[in-house]
Structure 1
Amino acid sequence: MKIQFYLRFFTQYGQSLFLTGNCDALGNNDLSAALPMQYLTDEFWTVTVELGKDFENDLQYSYILKNENGEEIREWGNDRVVEFMKLQVDELTLIDTWNHAGEYENAFFTQPFQEVLFPKHRENKTRTYKGVTHLFKIKAPLLKADEVLFISGSNETLGKWSNAEPLLMHKEDNWWTARIDLSNESFPVAYKYGVFNTKTKTFVQFESGNNRILYDSYGKKKITILHDGFAQLPADGWKGAGVAIPVFSLRTEKSLGVGEFSDMKLLVDWAKKAGMKLVQILPINDTTATHTWQDSYPYAAISAFALHPVYLNLEMIAQKATHPVIKSLKKKQTELNALPEVDYEAVMKVKWAAAKELYQEQKDALHEDAEFFSFFELNRYWLVPYAAFSYLRDKYKTPDFTKWKSHSVYNEHAIQEFVAPSQKHYDEIALYYFIQYHLHLQLLDATNYAHKNGIVVKGDIPIGIYRNSCDAWVEPELYNMSMQAGAPPDDFAVKGQNWGFPTYNWQRMAEDGFKWWRRRFEQMSNYFDAFRIDHILGFFRIWSIPMDAVEGILGYFVPALPVHINEFGQRGLWFDYQRLCKPFINDEVLRELMNGDVEILKPYLNHIGNGQFELKEEFNTQRKVEAHFAAQEQNAQNENIKHGLYDCISNVILFEVEGSQSQQFHFRISVSSTSSFRFLDEDSRRKLDEFYVNYFYRRQDDFWRKEAMAKLPSLKRSTNMLVCGEDLGMVPDCVPDVMKQMGMLSLEIQRMPKDPAKQFFHPKDAPYLSVVTPSTHDMSTIRGWWEEDRTQTQKFFTHELAQTGEAPYYCEPWIVRSIITQHLYSPAMWSIFQIQELLGMNGVLRRENPAEERINVPANPKHYWRYRMHLSFEQLLNEEMFNQELKGYIDASGRG
């Protein structure tokens, strides 16, 4: 069969197009073997292939754009499919429209919309091609339940533009289709798509824009198939509201001191009652590293795949409330549920002991359970290493596998022997299989319940992995274990953040097509419809901190284009290695750092002449200082000295690139705020500042864009979940465009404007493909923030709320209500609120002290994550007046 491909695409000079697909002629989906196309006109590119009779599959194909710089961009989707064996023709013409990933209509073909939110149109998949010359295919994701598309055009067959009795189309998979015989018509043909209501039998509207034109004429034994892209209908009007809350923060009468997966059902009930369409949670992976409260940090998982045992509902495993194990816990359950916050260690101790008892009782039946066997086989690749890692962590009393006496280096064959059923410790290994299986069942049960109630579930995928994790143990080559990931300074953490995670070895990950990431996305899609990528900027560049640093302020972006020593001379700057690359310390610096006490740090310094000092070798890194003071008495003076030395160490202007032989350098972040910078002469400060701005805001932009485009497109293609990126912090100029091109939703926060010229962001200015929210788990709530800075509060009160006079000292319910409604009326696709914010609208229901509502303090790496609702969901579901009030706001804003 002869196949002619025509693609509508307006290319620019230097661009070229390629075709890939599932047959030999198209390279069998090997992108490196894609077929080059030829430029035909300003409107079309084309290529012709011959497909032999031995090809007996449906033909699936897509297009690739190659830019002048070598960058490859695949069109979005994989639903260009031709029923090859049904055609029975000699010639096939395919006329296509490029499907840009950033078209917002594509968002409506993702999992939350297709599987949960949108009504199902009746589909007809059995229609034939007999007597058909042309097959028209078009997408229209936002039609109502009783609406269908029709096609109308300039000739008799297409109804002469009539909309009274139009030619109705049929739904087949993602496409609306019309099989038409145009053999008696002349060409070209003008046509358009429109909307018809089948219930009222009335015309609704034609699509906007110019008429579509079909030039391809009829031929014997020939069929033309048109993939016409999206009908030109209003498609940015759909909006939804959601609630965000960590699972551990849920409170119900049946939970055991902490929120559990089963508690998500009552969260769904309440969200539905209030008119919301989404619930969002924090990461739920196992973080058990130390068996202490420090494991409460949900972004430090010991496995990117294992779920956290803290979310286990024991009664569901026992299958009855009268089970002896469950009955024995009633007193402890009452005690833990009465606490205002989560007692992480107590909860884990109780749940772990009970889970062991239930395993011993059920272990024989478990291994005869077909569902368990299926779960085990599908998840074996991570489940077996995770169980072995967890056992060895406890055996050697450390998650640091480099300190284990055996299996410190992962060997798959050795671990398979280690976990064999014949081993004496097998039950201790299989306990982890048992727990993960039940966590899987319980989370799946909760998310299925959400879907049945029309509620989307949004998860969270951390950017980093824990240094002493199963993932690092199994595949250390995927990570740069010699570096620490974090974030540069911002208003919430003025010395930056050091998460302690290793950074990713992206080059190695690319070698197997980012298999580890694809597996993460695949597993998440079992439970979630959408997910938030924590710190999506990490796919562009990550804030990398040397291992000898404690504070994030000593980091720099990797990858980044360094500055060369010659560039200083070119800018009229004298390069002095000692002055620019070593800590600058003199009496004035010491006086400034230590509030006038010049002598307090002198014992840790050497005098090097000219009134300047250097740190003694035993104190010349932050890790050395940290270790020294860890062995000293813990008091305010020692803490003050320690942080004074930290500040001395970070008082530099440049970091030398390792191995560059003092030829290449990175600028220290916020360099103009250092006393080292301020002690330079005025001309040097001006020139260095210009150089600094160029380094951070211009030099890297195209480089970072290419880095992201080498990773994100293939990762996004591996899932049909709706992807939201947390694009906060020091955002490169290239980020918004890349996310827009990828069709990823951005995050917009009122107190964190992305425009540096603005003090606040107004929700009315949000792009459609975005999520707007007043606050995140890393911030104080509206009420907490209101009391932190009276100057900021007054500006917000005057300019954002358009109020006169002095702002109230406390954030009154009407203020929270005003901010919530601002977000609800935003043009953004989603407005999502922490549950504390929603309760803040009600003076009776909200917590008395807003400081108790905060979930995390990013500036504190040892923060205890223990926030729990003060109300149970049983109570909240009965608050009819409040629930109806909230639903009224949501419905009125068009998000209901």
Structure 2
Amino acid sequence: MKIFFRLSYNTVWGETLHAVLYRAHAGANERKINIPLSTQDGKIWTGSILLLFKQPAVMAYHYEVRRGDKTVRREWQKVERTLSVSPQTSAYYLNDSWRELPAQAHLYSSAVTEVFRPQTVEKTPLPLFKRTLLLRVQSPCNGDLYLCGSTAQLGNWNPDKALPLTRTQLNEWGITLNAEEQTFPAEYKFIVKHNGAVLWEDGFNRTLDNPSLKDGEVFARQDLRPCFTGEAPVRAAGVVIPVFSLRSETGCGVGDFGDLKKLADWAQKTGQKVIQILPINDTTLTHTWQDSYPYNAVSVYAFHPLYADVRLLPGGNKSLEKERKKINELPQVNYEKALQLKLEYLKRAFLNEGKTILSTPQFRRFFAQNTHWLSAYAMFCTLRDHYKTADFSKWGKYARFSYDALVAFCKPGAKEYGTVCFWYYVQFLLHCQLTGAVRYARQKGLILKGDIPIGISPNSAEAWTEPQLFHLNAQAGAPPDDFSATGQNWGFPTYNWEAMAQNGYRWWTRRLAHMAQYFDAYRIDHVLGFFRIWQIPLHAVQGLLGQFSPALPMSADEIKGYGLPFDTSFTRPHITAETVREVFGGLAEKVSKKYLDMQVDATYQLKPAYATQRQTEQAFANQTDEKALRIKEGLFALADNVLFVPDHKDPSKFHPRISAPTSEAYRALPAGEQQAFTRLYNEYFFHRHNEFWKHEAMQKLPAITQATRMLCCAEDLGMIPACVPEVLNKLQILSLEIERMPKRLGETFADTKKYPYLSVATPSTHDMSVLRGWWKENPENTARFWREVLGKTGEAPAELDGKTAEEIVRLHLNSPSMLALISYQDWAAMDEALRAPDPEAERINVPANPRHYWRYRMPLTLEKLLDQTAFNDKIKQLITDANR
């Protein structure tokens, strides 16, 4: 059989087109055939290949753009181009166009095709005739697809006589026509039939011409994408809550994967379709409450042992029951006791059934699919507990990871093999339990939405095994924003994107593929980090001394070109007697004597022992009294009081310090120099990098977000570059819309009625106060919201009552957003009998506090929540009224 390729694609000088042919649904390591295409005009590319088939087969192919031997672009492949071939087929003529991301890519996600609008695929191949016309159509339409045209064979434009298409893949339809029976030329269109209604595709009629086929030949059009205006959009509502916050009657003081099933029961009962959780990766570094921070993962693959449902374990463990009941009565999570209890349950279960479980075919299959991370993770956990630190630089001969050491450490009979197997057992158990919860939720019409943290711990399995992928000598964070006036320092290493790009961002695509086993949607934590990350030097504790990376730093001459007489003194803290008095008040004299050195020009500099924030932090490590903390924070502020920071790669270039126009160093400048600095600052932060950062994001995000069929949702909060909305729209990534954090300049509150469809609407996130807490934070702001948004008269109530909370929730449900996801606390705010007495106790995280204890628990159990008929009926009615 001979396959002829014809592709319409405009290239630039140096680029070539290639078709890649392989067995349908082939694995990554299976053989693929490369077919170079040629062109006469740089617009139409053709090529062919001769193949011999002894039996019927289904082949797949796609197109790539190459520059030399490097692939620079692949077409969108979430729906495979397929060919059903047989020994009777003599030739395939493929007339194609390049497949870009579809206009409704969100409808191709597993969230839609598996849950919101589940599809059934016909596995029987389309019939082939003596001479065959093959049409394949990509369409996420809600209903059945038909072909209707101008000839008798195509129905004479009568929808009742239209020809049905067959769903051959998810969101792909196909039909074969006997060329010998057709009248040419013919006009036709595609139509959708759903619940008795007929919807015609937009645009001009299509044309069916005679391809003049010989016996055994197939003429195929594989690139048809009709558009149907008027289809009802997919809109869903859901709940946002961390797994650790779930409470059940038989729990261990913390939520687990078993509790997700009870949460799914409640979500289904109330008409919700989405459950969004926080990251569930293992964060065990110290076995203390400081590990409660769920974004500081020690593995991007392993799940936290805390989430094991021990009720499913063998043995009963009656001796642990007393402790279980005790910690399950606590109002908040006691992380240390809960983890200790869970591990005790798991260790006893492992002794009881571990050997049996690890010998099952199911475990062997799990191990084979996860071997690229599982053994190294088990070795990491074993060494962490042996050396009593996750800082692998202190692990002696194991400080530097090697594959040979991994094989020796984890082989049967090795000294620590039993402990290694325990961690295998725990991860397999967690995998099975989460898979069971996901399956249960899907059966109830619900999806789970996961969370992909932007960073990893510097003391993690990934940093240990693949250090070349990270900048371990830097810290990631965020510049000042509504969450923190001094910025955020997360302590994560930044990514070495250049190294990751060399193999097509495999580290990321593997990570996403792993998560796609469990989730149908996910939140990209801090999507801005894919445009640029806020990189903070190791000597800094706060975020003000950071710089964007990558970025375009400024030379001294360029700075001078703005009218600012630059010298390196601008990179050193500007400390005068007035500065000290302003920062320390009545402590100024004491601070000047103990922590500062006077200079010849009557200014000060920090003493060498306190020259950096990290040194100051260490000096005050054991001091917790109010005066000491005030001095420490004041010394941090002095270290921040600079106008420029040197570039981390090229110290001869500089970045203006973020928020410098509010600093004392700026106020000390003469008026003309202040104006010059302001022009420079605005150009640097708001204009200079737009195209540069757009290019950076478009290098990374397409490969990463299109690696799976999960619905991709961005967390795009903070200091948002102007190019971000454009990139998110182009890649059809859902944005995050929060009423109290408007993205339009000049707005105090975002207009929920104007949210984009491709967005997630939510009143609050885990990094914010809940609605009830926000209501009390700023009475003047609340009064304005009361009048301008809710349209009320009179005084706003001091406390957010249930009825007003319901109005705010209704605004979000009625927004155009595809998803309206409400935190459990904000759902509960509508019922004054169910919500917690203190709204501050409902807050999950305080970003300004890097040592925050993540321990919020629901005030009532899931079992009791299921019995709250009036509350549950209210939620269901709100969702029904909003047509979600």
**Is contact 1:139–1:231 with CA below 8 Å preserved after alignment?**
no
**Is contact 1:61–1:78 with CA below 8 Å preserved after alignment?**
no
Write the distance in 2 (CA, Å) between the matches of 1:382 and 1:313: 23
State which of 748, 762, 774 in structure 2 corresponds to 1:773. 762
**Is contact 1:193–1:231 with CA below 8 Å preserved after alignment?**
no
1:253 is aligned to 249
Write the distance in 1 (CA, Å) between the matches of 2:820 and 2:343: 38
**Is contact 1:281–1:458 with CA below 8 Å preserved after alignment?**
yes
CA deviation string 1:576-608 (max 9, x = no partner):
221x21111112212221236532321222222
1:210 is aligned to 204
1:169 is aligned to 165
Task: Tell me which stretches of 4 or more aligned residues in structure 1 moved more than 4 Å.
Answer: 1-9, 11-17, 28-34, 36-40, 55-59, 63-67, 70-73, 87-91, 182-188
1:307, CA displacement in angstroms?
Answer: 0.9
Secondary structure of 1:406 counterpart: helix
1:727 is aligned to 716
- Aligned CA distance change for structure 1 residues 118 and 786 (closer, same or farther; 3 Å): same
Write the distance in 2 (CA, Å) between the matches of 1:782 and 1:303: 33
1:189 is aligned to 186
1:118 is aligned to 117
Secondary structure of 2:160 counterpart: coil
Look up the equivalent residue of 2:723 and give its one-letter code. Answer: C
1:442 is aligned to 433
Write the distance in 2 (CA, Å) between the matches of 1:166 and 1:273: 40
- Aligned CA distance change for structure 1 residues 505 and 584 (closer, same or farther; 3 Å): same
1:828, CA displacement in angstroms?
Answer: 1.1
**Is contact 1:132–1:179 with CA below 8 Å preserved after alignment?**
no
2:210 paired with 1:219 = no
1:89, CA displacement in angstroms?
Answer: 5.2
CA deviation string 1:50-82 (max 9, x = no partner):
211347864433345799xx9955432243424
1:347 is aligned to 338
1:845 is aligned to 834
Q: TM-score, normalised by structure 1?
A: 0.92
**Is contact 1:19–1:37 with CA below 8 Å preserved after alignment?**
no
Which residues in structure 2 correspond to 1:865-880 (within 5 Å)?
A: 865-880=854-869
Write the distance in 1 (CA, Å) between the matches of 2:203 and 2:354: 65
Write the distance in 1 (CA, Å) between the matches of 2:801 and 2:360: 55
Write the distance in 2 (CA, Å) between the matches of 1:702 and 1:507: 19
Write the distance in 2 (CA, Å) between the matches of 1:33 and 1:86: 20
CA deviation string 1:778-814 (max 9, x = no partner):
1111111000011211121122222222211111112
**Is contact 2:825–2:842 with CA below 8 Å preserved after alignment?**
yes
Look up the equivalent residue of 1:747 and give its one-letter code. Answer: L
1:125, CA displacement in angstroms?
Answer: 2.3
2:748 is aligned to 759
Write the distance in 1 (CA, Å) between the matches of 2:719 and 2:411: 49
State which of 664, 684, 687 in structure 2 corresponds to 1:695. 684
1:611, CA displacement in angstroms?
Answer: 3.0
Look up the equivalent residue of 2:263 and give its one-letter code. Answer: L
**Is contact 1:606–1:615 with CA below 8 Å preserved after alignment?**
yes
Secondary structure of 2:61 counterpart: strand
1:314 is aligned to 310
- Aligned CA distance change for structure 1 residues 389 and 787 (closer, same or farther; 3 Å): same
1:213, CA displacement in angstroms?
Answer: 3.2
Write the distance in 1 (CA, Å) between the matches of 2:556 and 2:58: 59
Secondary structure of 2:174 counterpart: strand
Write the distance in 1 (CA, Å) between the matches of 2:788 and 2:526: 30
1:558 is aligned to 549
CA deviation string 1:639-683 (max 9, x = no partner):
111111110110111111246353x11111111111111111122
2:633 is aligned to 643
Tell me, which stretches of 5 or more residues in structure 1 are unaligned?
Answer: none
**Is contact 2:153–2:183 with CA below 8 Å preserved after alignment?**
no
- Aligned CA distance change for structure 1 residues 423 and 171 (closer, same or farther; 3 Å): closer
2:695 is aligned to 706
1:178, CA displacement in angstroms?
Answer: 2.2
Write the distance in 1 (CA, Å) between the matches of 2:649 and 2:806: 56
1:297 is aligned to 293
**Is contact 1:98–1:229 with CA below 8 Å preserved after alignment?**
no
- Aligned CA distance change for structure 1 residues 775 and 20 (closer, same or farther; 3 Å): farther
**Count of aligned residue pairs for this structure pair:** 870
Look up the equivalent residue of 1:681 and give its one-letter code. Answer: P
Write the distance in 1 (CA, Å) between the matches of 2:36 and 2:258: 48
Write the distance in 1 (CA, Å) between the matches of 2:649 and 2:140: 55
Percent of paired sites with the same residue: 40
1:593 is aligned to 583
Look up the equivalent residue of 1:178 and give its one-letter code. Answer: I
1:315, CA displacement in angstroms?
Answer: 2.4
**Is contact 2:313–2:349 with CA below 8 Å preserved after alignment?**
yes
CA deviation string 1:748-784 (max 9, x = no partner):
1112112232122122212111111111111111111
**Is contact 2:202–2:226 with CA below 8 Å preserved after alignment?**
no
- Aligned CA distance change for structure 1 residues 467 and 790 (closer, same or farther; 3 Å): same
1:234 is aligned to 230
**Is contact 1:242–1:279 with CA below 8 Å preserved after alignment?**
yes
1:88, CA displacement in angstroms?
Answer: 4.7
Look up the equivalent residue of 1:773 and give its one-letter code. Answer: T
1:449, CA displacement in angstroms?
Answer: 0.8
Write the distance in 1 (CA, Å) between the matches of 2:567 and 2:832: 61
- Aligned CA distance change for structure 1 residues 423 and 149 (closer, same or farther; 3 Å): closer
Write the distance in 2 (CA, Å) between the matches of 1:92 and 1:609: 86
Write the distance in 1 (CA, Å) between the matches of 2:161 and 2:670: 82
Secondary structure of 1:284 counterpart: coil
Write the distance in 2 (CA, Å) between the matches of 1:769 and 1:659: 38
Tell me, which stretches of 5 or more residues in structure 2 are unaligned?
Answer: 24-29
State which of 406, 423, 426 in structure 1 corresponds to 2:414. 423
State which of 559, 570, 573 in structure 2 corresponds to 1:583. 573
1:251, CA displacement in angstroms?
Answer: 0.6
2:525 paired with 1:534 = yes
State which of 262, 265, 274 in structure 1 corresponds to 2:270. 274
1:273, CA displacement in angstroms?
Answer: 0.5
- Aligned CA distance change for structure 1 residues 508 and 31 (closer, same or farther; 3 Å): farther
Look up the equivalent residue of 1:645 and give its one-letter code. Answer: L
- Aligned CA distance change for structure 1 residues 856 and 39 (closer, same or farther; 3 Å): farther
Write the distance in 1 (CA, Å) between the matches of 2:779 and 2:514: 46
1:53 is aligned to 51
2:77 is aligned to 77
1:567, CA displacement in angstroms?
Answer: 0.9
Write the distance in 2 (CA, Å) between the matches of 1:8 and 1:35: 11
- Aligned CA distance change for structure 1 residues 396 and 193 (closer, same or farther; 3 Å): same
CA deviation string 1:202-224 (max 9, x = no partner):
56232222222345644334432
**Is contact 2:2–2:51 with CA below 8 Å preserved after alignment?**
no
CA deviation string 1:359-403 (max 9, x = no partner):
222233234322222222322222211122112112111111111
Secondary structure of 1:737 counterpart: helix
Look up the equivalent residue of 1:272 and give its one-letter code. Answer: Q
**Is contact 2:8–2:45 with CA below 8 Å preserved after alignment?**
no
Secondary structure of 1:859 counterpart: coil
Which residues in structure 2 correspond to 1:774-793 (within 5 Å)?
A: 774-793=763-782
Write the distance in 2 (CA, Å) between the matches of 1:248 and 1:661: 45
State which of 347, 357, 361 in structure 2 corresponds to 1:356. 347
1:33, CA displacement in angstroms?
Answer: 8.4
**Is contact 1:284–1:298 with CA below 8 Å preserved after alignment?**
yes
Write the distance in 2 (CA, Å) between the matches of 1:344 and 1:723: 31
Look up the equivalent residue of 1:507 and give its one-letter code. Answer: E
1:739 is aligned to 728
Write the distance in 2 (CA, Å) between the matches of 1:659 and 1:454: 51
- Aligned CA distance change for structure 1 residues 51 and 280 (closer, same or farther; 3 Å): same
Write the distance in 1 (CA, Å) between the matches of 2:470 and 2:783: 46
